Amino acid sequence: MSRTMIRDMTEGPVVSSLIQFTLPLFISNALQAVYNLVDLVIVGNYIGKTGMSAVSIGGDILHLLTFVAMGFSSAGQILIAQAVGARRQHEIQKIIGTMFTFLLGFSLVIGVACYGLRYSVLSWLHTPSASYQFTLDYMVTCICGLPFIYGYNIVSAILRGMGDSRRPFLFIAVAAVLNMVLDILFIRCFHLAVFGAALATVIGQGVSFIVSVVYLMYRRDSFGFDFRPKSFRMDEVQFKKLLALGVPMAIQSAAVNFSKIILTSWINLFDVTYSALAGIFNKINIMCGVVSQSFTAAGGTMVGQNLGARHYQRVNQVLLSILLICTALSVLLTLGMLFWPDLVYGLFTTDTEVLSLASILTLPIILNFYGAASRSVAFSLINGSGRSRLNLAVAIIDGVFARIGLAALMGFGLKMDCLGFWLGDSLAGFMPMIISLVFYLTGRWKTEKTK
């Protein structure tokens, strides 16, 4: 099997390798995040706060529905990275086939189930009546695009596990530009309102997935997966590994997104203006999370490969490099929020009522910058070492107890209302770093695990 698609990250300068791998990954993740961000910006400027509320709530629902894609694709990426680092090329084909069959099948099941529960979901979230129909349109349309989201995550995991972060960027770049053009066309020209924003998103995701699959088929000889029907059979051994690592990662993703859904339902108890503010808060944090996710994906791959090769000192260098770079970026973002807050908030809407209250978001957003930086280091170590039980512990502590608990304490207990909800959400983001620091000091990360 040719190794032209596989990038060895166990040698060479650490910082250079990290930046070279992270930069296209960051741009790729940023463009993927732009999907929902562009929806909010264009809807906010052309429709107003009712449209922003719909995109905010619908976006939170969509993120929750993708928890399996995020968790299991990350698990598959780590398994591939470990196989690459340990030179176990025969396992890669089996991992790929297992991921495709399981995740695409699950996306269809969860899509049908959520469509049947669509009215109940909007009721549970206390969706404001002013934005109810818009939210329903956005939610239903995006559900139809779930297989594309899951499929793109699979292909990206395959390429990134092999050390290729450039191709996922190229695939998503085409789709992001298409999404932006279609957003303006559908909303401004065809007057399709929030449905047009959701339709543009689904079309963009579909294009991204189709183009990436075509590329994999074209380069199939490079990594040993021939796309024949028999290749999609799930391998029992690899499926067990995927479950062992993916279930805790999926629960972690679901727990965090579930907590955000709970916070959304609390915020919706106030009025549509605060629901629109929640959209701004979430989208800024998503863009901030792009940096964290990019370094986590790159760091997890580098840690996975170097653990497979038993290069422990190099793992330390990777983690320190991520910490320094992400902290420096957080300082720059903080300065931007402190000196130009009106410019930042004005990008999302011209609604004077929303903008007059937007300053309430500044402190929680800044706290989240540093929480995201700390999570980059934490999950690079946890994910790269394949510790599924630790991922489960992080999911429960961060996603359930800390996030919901702190938000409830500060919002309801201390009567800080929506500010308390957002502060609790931001402070909970530091929990993974505390847990991973204890794990690092034990030295148990030096043993490669997938359970």
Report CA dihedral (434, 439, 440, 441) to the nearest 10 degrees.
90
**Contact, 131 vs 51, CB < 8 A?**
yes
Question: Crossing angle for the helix pair 49-65 and 67-85, nearest 10 degrees?
Answer: 50
Distance, in Å, from the CA atom of 203 to the CA atom of 189, rounded to the nearest integer, reads 17
Please tell me the predicted confidence (pLDDT) of residue 12.
64
Tokens 């790159």 map to which residue? 298
**Contact, 380 vs 296, CB < 8 A?**
yes
The 10s digit of each residue's pLDDT in 378-426 is 888 887 887 767 877 887 787 778 889 999 999 999 999 999 999 999 9
Tokens 């790269």 map to which residue? 384
**Contact, 286 vs 89, CB < 8 A?**
no
Buried-exposed string 168-193: b where 16+ CB fall within 10 A, e elsewhere: bbbbbbebbebbbebbeebbeeeebb
Here the tokens at position 126 are 């206390």
CA distances, 335 to each of 288, 339, 357, 374 (Å): 14, 6, 20, 18
Here the tokens at position 386 are 């394949």
Q: Is 317 exposed, middle or buried (0-12, 13-18, 19+ CB in 10 A)?
A: middle
Report CA dihedral (71, 75, 81, 83) to the nearest 10 degrees.
-160
User: Whole-angstrom distance between the N-terminal and C-terminal Cα of the chain?
Assistant: 29
Please tell me the predicted confidence (pLDDT) of residue 312.
83
Buried-exposed string 280-308: b where 16+ CB fall within 10 A, e elsewhere: bbbbbbbbbbbbbbbbbbbbbbbbbbbbb
Please tell me the predicted confidence (pLDDT) of residue 62.
85
Alpha helices, DSSP H, located in 10-165: 14-46, 49-65, 67-85, 90-116, 118-124, 132-144, 146-161
Selection from 367, 380, 175, 212 nearest residue 294 by Cα:
380
Distance, in Å, from the CA atom of 330 to the CA atom of 145, rounded to the nearest integer, reads 33
Selection from 263, 251, 155, 257 nearest residue 209 by Cα:
155
| Ramachandran quadrant class, 224 (left: phi over 0; alpha: psi -120 to 50; beta: rest) | left
CA 25 vs. chain centroid, Å, equals: 12
**Contact, 439 vs 387, CB < 8 A?**
yes
Please tell me the predicted confidence (pLDDT) of residue 29.
66
Instruction: Name the phi and psi angles at 417, rounded to 5.
Output: 55, -135
**Contact, 128 vs 58, CB < 8 A?**
no
Check: pTM over 0.85? Answer yes or no: no
CA distances, 386 to each of 75, 86, 382 (Å): 8, 14, 6
CA angle 139–41–363, rounded 5-degree value: 100
**Contact, 375 vs 296, CB < 8 A?**
yes
CA distances, 430 to each of 29, 310, 372 (Å): 22, 29, 8
Please tell me the predicted confidence (pLDDT) of residue 3.
44
Residues of the chain with pLDDT under 50: 1-4, 450-451
Tokens 């961000």 map to which residue? 37
Here the tokens at position 409 are 């304490």
Please tell me the predicted confidence (pLDDT) of residue 166.
73
Please tell me the predicted confidence (pLDDT) of residue 199.
92
